[in-house]
Structure 1
Amino acid sequence: MSTDNQQPLAERIDELETRLAFQEDTLAQLNDVITVQDAQIRALVARVKEMTEKYQDLSFEVQKGMKPDEEKPPHY
């Protein structure tokens, strides 16, 4: 290879290395965002489950007056 052909090739390699570095940085940033969002989603899912259980308990209380685990056995 002559020196004339090596210059454009070196520039292309530098450009590719620069792009790769930016892509790696972008991927790291996206991974951080995804990690935070995963934690938020897990917390929201737990909260929705908790609220659903509370709603079911309140709904049952309104319909029957007390929760099933608080009902007295028939012999009382």
Structure 2
Amino acid sequence: MRTTADLDEQSYRSVRERAQRSGVSVGRMLGMLVEQALAAEAATPLVVKQSHGFNVVAARPGSPVISATAIQRAIDDEGFI
């Protein structure tokens, strides 16, 4: 499948160098790196613990942090609760 991706210059150079060392195209290397990242994420088990009777799932490394303020704003904006 063909697609267009915007990469910063350093990322492109790194991918191009890896592709050259591996003897594959830049596109193929990007596909391989995406597959590796997705497989690593899927292999990382979710850590669930109990806190005050609720199941709490620990965020995976690198996950964005969502503040309580942002959550409250979403609740208010959407009319939940």
TM range (shorter): 0.3 to 0.5
TM-score (structure 2 length as normaliser): 0.31
Identify the structure with the greater helix proportion: 1
* Structure that is richer in strand per residue: 2
| Structure having greater relative contact order (Cα 8 Å, sep ≥ 6) | 2
Task: Look at both structures and tell me which one has the larger radius of gyration over its CA atoms.
Answer: 1
